[in-house]
Amino acid sequence: PQAIHLKDYAPPPYLIDTVDLAFDLGEDVTRVRSRLAIRANPDAASPAGALVLDGQDMRLVSVALDGRTLDPSEYSVGPESLTIPGPPEAFSLEVVTELKPQENTSLSGLYRTSGNFCTQCEAEGFRKITYFLDRPDVMARYRTTITADALKYPVMLSNGNLVASSKMEGDGRHTVTWEDPFAKPSYLFALVAGVLVHVEDSYVTRSGRTVTLRIYVEPGNQDKCGHAMASLKKSMAWDEEVFGLEYDLDIFMIVAVGDFNMGAMENKGLNVFNTKYVLAKPETATDTDFLGVEAVVAHEYFHNWTGNRVTCRDWFQLSLKEGLTVFRDQEFSSDMHSRPVKRIADVQRLRAAQFPEDSGPMAHPVRPDSYIEINNFYTTTVYEKGAEVVRMIHTLLGADGFRKGMDLYFERHDGQAVTCDDFVAAMEDAAGKDLGQFRRWYSQAGTPELAVTGEYDAAARTYRLTVRQSCPPTPGQPTKLPFHIPLALGLLDPSGADIPLRLAGEPGPAGTSRVLDVTGPEQVFEFVDVPRQPVPSLLRGFSAPVKLRAPYTDDDLTFLMAHDGDAFNRWEAGQTLATRLLLDLVADRAENRPLELSPGFIDAFSRILKDPDLDPAFAAQALTLPSEGYLGQQMPVIDVDGIHEVRTFARRAIAGRLRDDLLATYRAMGGNEPFSIDAAAIGRRALKNLALGYLMALEDAEAVELCVGQFHNAQAMTDVIAALGLLADTRLPQRESALRRFYDLWKDEPLVVDKWFSIQAMSERPETLDEVAALLAHPAFEIRNPNKVYALIGGFAGGNPVRFHDAGGGGYRFLADQVLALNRLNPQVASRMVKMFARWRKYDPRRQSLMRAELERIVATPGLSRDVFEIASKSLE
Ligand code: B3K
Ligand code: ZN
C-alpha cells in the first residue's frame, strides 16, 4: 500500500456542481443511478485531462456522457477507479452501479443494520455507492430519490428537505425525493431506509424560524430518546448564544442504528448515530452514558457549522473540523455542568490515550503529513490534542478575541473547503495576535515537556521562574523547534492566598492568575514585590497539553491540594503526589521492601472526604488514584504486575484507615431522592460509588452486603453497574448469581448486554481470558457488531492491563486472532483493536518479544487491509 502525502495536494482537476441520485433499494441488488454536472476546474494547476473517478466494491452497469451511452472501450475501470479520457470542458455524466449492501460488513458505504439500510460515507465511503470525485474539496448540491418496498422500508430519508413523495405503486413500492440546498462534500451524504419510528419536537431559532427535530429509532426505543432530544435543543440554543450560529435547514434528523463503527456522523441534516449515543433512560444508561449522549449530540450538531458549512480541503486538515468541534462540545458540557469537573475528565482522557499515542510509533502531528489509510487518523491526537490546540488559541486570544476570530472565519470561508492554516489566520487577523510560532502545534508531533524551577530572593522580594521546554523525537521528526506555550499560573502565599502578580518592568500587578507566553527553549520570568516565599501553582486549568516537571516537595503538593484557588490544580496536586507515592511503592515491591502508604497522604484523602463544602463530583475525582495505565506511562519499563499490586494495596490501605468515613460518605450520598440527571445528582452517585469501591477493597461482610444490596435494589443503572463491576472482581458466591440475574433481566437490551460483556472482560481475576474467549461463543456476542467487539475484546485488551499483559502471552495471542478475524469483516474495527499492540516497546523483554511475534504474524498474513497493515507495520518500525 502507498502512502499519501500532504505536500502532494493539488486542487481537483474537475468540479461537480450538482448530483442527482436515484436509489432502487432491493433485497438482493441495489441499483444506483447518478447524474453529475461536471466541469473543468478553472483553478486547477494543469489542464484537466482524463477524468478519474473513485469507486470500489461495485458493479458498473453503464456510463453515459451528455446523454450518449458510452461503449466500454471509451472508458476504463480499475479496482478503485473509473477513467474517462479527455471529456469535454463541461458535461453531464450518468453512471449506473449495482451494490450488495447486505454483504457489506465494513459498515462503510451503504450497508444493512437490523434489516434497515444505512450509509456511512466519511471518510471515503461514498465511492462504494457510486463513482465520484470522493474528496472533501469537491462540493456539490445533492438531490436524492429513493425507491423501495413500502412495507419493508416505510421510512426513507436523505439530506436536506423532503420535496416529493409518492404513494405505494401497484408493485408495492414507493418513492421519495430529498433535496439539500447547501453544497457539501460527498462524505456528508447520507441515506437511511427501513422500519423506524420517531419522536418529534421543534425549535424556534433566534431569528424566528421553526425547525422540526426528529429522532428516528427502531420500534420500542421511543422511550429512550428524551435525553438526546433535550440535549439537541440545548446545543442549538448554546451555539446561538455563544457563537451566534443558527441552524440552517427546516428539519434536523437523528437516526440511531445498532451497527456503527464510531460514535456518530454529522451528515448534513441527517445525523446517523450509534444507538449508544442516543438511547438513554435511568434504568438502562449510566451517568457516563447520559453525559456521552449529551456531548455527542452536541458535537454532531456543532459540526453543522464547523465541518459542514466550512469543511476541510483535504483529509490532512481533519483537525480543522474535529479539534474545533471537540473544543466546542467540551465548552458546551462545561457550561451545562461543572467546568473543573469537565476539565479534569478531559485531561484524564487526553493523558490516558493521547499522551501514549504521541510517544509511540503512531505519533503524528495534529495535521498529519502522510497516511496510508485515512480512517486510521481519526485519532485522539487529531480530536483531543486538536481541541487542546484550539483551547490554547482561546486562552491566548481571550473569549472575545476568539469569538471575533470565529466570526471572521465564517465570514471568509462559509461554503468553502479550507485548511487549518486558514483557521489560524482568521484568529490571528481578527485578534491582531501573531500566531506564527504557534502554528508548530499543527506540524510537530510529540508531547512537549516543561521543566519549571523557582528561586525566591527574600532581600530583593523577587521570585524568578525559569522555564525550559523540550520535546522528544517522534517518527520522522528527530528534532523539534520550540512551541508557543501559554503557561497559566498563580503564586500562593503561605496562607494559601494568591499573590498579586507583577513581572519586572510592569507598572502594576495584573491579576493573581495570568498567562505567560513561553516561546523559547529557556526563559526566565521575574516577579517583583513578592513578600514571602511562594508556592507556584503552574499550568492552571492545564493551559497547554504538556508534561510539567517541577521540583515540588510532598508538603508543597499537600499544600496545593488544600489551598490552590484553581480547582484543576488542586486535583492535579493530589494526583502528582499519589503518582509519586505509588511509583515509590512499585520500586519498593520490586526490591522486596515492605509496602507502606504515607499516613500524610491518607490524611489528605480524609480531609477531602470530610470536607462538607466540596462538590461531590470533584471529591470523587480527587479521591480516585491515578489509573494503572497512567502510572505505567511514568515508568521507563512498565511493571504491569507491580503497578496492579501496589494500587490494590494502596486502595486497601486507604479503605482500612478511612473505613468509617467511607461508610458515612456512602450513606450521606445514598439518599432516596428520585432520579435526576443534573450535575449535583451525578456527583452524589459518583462519590457514593467511589466510597463503595474503596469499601469493597476490604471485602468485609458489611461492604459485601452493601454492594449486593445496591446491585439488587438500585433503580439507576449507574448504581447497578458500579456494584456489579465490583462483584465481578471478586471470588464471592454472589458474583455468578449477580451476573446471571443481570443478563436475564437485560438480554433484550443490546446496549445493556454490552455492559455485561465489558464488566466480565475487565475483571482482574486470573480466569478472565478464558471467560472472555468463551464469551465469543455466547449467543449475544456478534463479531459483526462493533459495539460488541469494543465491549468484549476492547474491554479486555484496553481496559484490563493486568490480564491482557499476562506474562504467559495468552492475551496477546487472543487479540491477534481477533484482529485477523475482524480484518476480513471490518478493517476499521480491526485496526482499532490492533492499536492495542502499538506500545509494545514499553514492556519488559519477555512481553516485548511476545507482542512483537503477534504483530509479525499479523503483518505476514495475506489479504491484510490497508487499515491493519498501516498500524501493524508502523508499530514494528
Ligand atoms: N466525523 C465522524 C467520524 C467519521 C469517522 C470515519 N472513519 C464523527 C465525528 O467526529 O463527529
Ligand atoms: Zn466530529
Residue 672's pLDDT is 72
CA of 265 to the centre of ligand 1 (A): 5
Chunked in runs of 10, what are the mean pLDDT values of the chain (877 residues)?
A: 96 98 98 98 91 98 98 98 97 98 98 98 98 98 98 98 90 96 98 98 98 98 98 99 98 98 98 99 98 99 99 99 99 98 98 98 98 98 99 98 98 98 98 98 99 98 98 98 98 97 92 96 98 98 98 98 98 98 98 97 97 97 98 98 98 98 96 88 97 98 98 96 98 98 98 99 98 98 98 98 98 99 98 98 98 98 98 97
Is 588 exposed, middle or buried (CB count within 10 Å of its CB: 0-12, 13-18, 19+)? middle
Residue 58's pLDDT is 98
**Rounded Cα gap, residues 451 and 524, in angstroms:** 12
Residue 509's pLDDT is 84
Residue 265 CB–ligand 1 contact under 6 Å:
yes
> What is the residue with the minimal CA distance to atom 4 of ligand 1?
122
> What is the residue with the minimal CA distance to atom 7 of ligand 1?
375
Side by side, the strands of the sheet bearing 155-158 are: 109-113, 116-120, 191-194, 155-158
Q: Terminus-to-terminus CA distance in the chain, angstroms?
A: 16
Quote the DSSP letter at residue 611: -
Residue 262 CB–ligand 1 contact under 6 Å:
yes
Strands 210-217 and 251-257: parallel
Is the CB of residue 199 less than 8 Å from the CB of residue 279? no
Residue 46's pLDDT is 85
Quick one: which ligand is closest to 122's CA?
1
Is the CB of residue 267 less than 8 Å from the CB of residue 300? no
Residue 533's pLDDT is 98
> What is the residue with the minimal CA distance to atom 1 of ligand 1?
265
Angle, alpha carbons 373-377-380 (nearest 5°): 160
CA of 42 to the centre of ligand 1 (A): 31
Is the CB of residue 366 less than 8 Å from the CB of residue 358? no
CA of 351 to the centre of ligand 2 (A): 20
Residue 302's pLDDT is 99
Is the CB of residue 824 less than 8 Å from the CB of residue 863? yes
* Residues with catalytic function: 300
Secondary structure string (H, E, C) spanning 103-146: HCCCCCEEEEECCEEEEECCCCCHHHCCCECCCCCCCEEEEEEE
> What is the residue with the minimal CA distance to atom 2 of ligand 1?
265
Quick one: which ligand is closest to 328's CA?
2
> What is the residue with the minimal CA distance to atom 3 of ligand 1?
265
Residue 375 CB–ligand 1 contact under 6 Å:
yes
Residue 322 CB–ligand 1 contact under 6 Å:
yes
**Rounded Cα gap, residues 4 and 536, in angstroms:** 46
Q: Is the Cα dihedral 555, 558, 564, 569 positive or negative?
A: positive
C-alpha grid cell, residue 605: 484523602
**Rounded Cα gap, residues 531 and 498, in angstroms:** 12
Kindly report whether the peptide bond that precedes residue 451 is cis, defined as omega within 30 degrees of 0. no
Residue 510's pLDDT is 83
Task: State the CB neighbour count (10 A cutoff) for residue 738.
Answer: 23
Kindly report whether the peptide bond that precedes residue 123 is cis, defined as omega within 30 degrees of 0. yes
Dump pLDDT digits (tens) for 729-760. 999 999 999 999 999 999 999 999 999 999 99
**Rounded Cα gap, residues 772 and 760, in angstroms:** 7
**Rounded Cα gap, residues 555 and 864, in angstroms:** 54
Q: How far is CA 833 from the centre of its chain?
A: 15
Instruction: Output the average pLDDT for the chain.
Output: 98
Is the CB of residue 854 less than 8 Å from the CB of residue 816? yes
Angle, alpha carbons 208-210-215 (nearest 5°): 145
Atom of ligand 1 nearest to the CA of 261: 7
pTM above 0.90, yes or no: yes
C-alpha grid cell, residue 485: 506555550
Residue 45's pLDDT is 85
Residue 867 CB–ligand 1 contact under 6 Å:
no
CA of 122 to the centre of ligand 2 (A): 11
Helix axes 640-657, 599-610, angle to 10 degrees: 60
**Rounded Cα gap, residues 527 and 536, in angstroms:** 11
Instruction: Report, in angstroms and rounded to the nearest whole number, the Rg of the chain calculated over CA atoms.
Output: 28
C-alpha grid cell, residue 366: 495534529
Please provide residue 463's backbone torsions phi and psi, each rounded to the nearest 5 degrees: -130, 115
CA of 142 to the centre of ligand 1 (A): 21
Residue 123 CB–ligand 1 contact under 6 Å:
yes
Q: Taking ligand 2, which is a single-atom ion, which protein residues have CB atoms under 5 Å away?
A: 322, 325
**Rounded Cα gap, residues 32 and 119, in angstroms:** 13
Is the CB of residue 858 less than 8 Å from the CB of residue 818? no
The secondary element (H helix, E strand) that includes residue 657 is helix 640-657
ipTM over 0.85: yes
Closest CA to 267 of 335, 196, 178: 178
Is 329 exposed, middle or buried (CB count within 10 Å of its CB: 0-12, 13-18, 19+)? buried
Residue 169's pLDDT is 74
Is 500 exposed, middle or buried (CB count within 10 Å of its CB: 0-12, 13-18, 19+)? middle
Residue count (the chain): 877
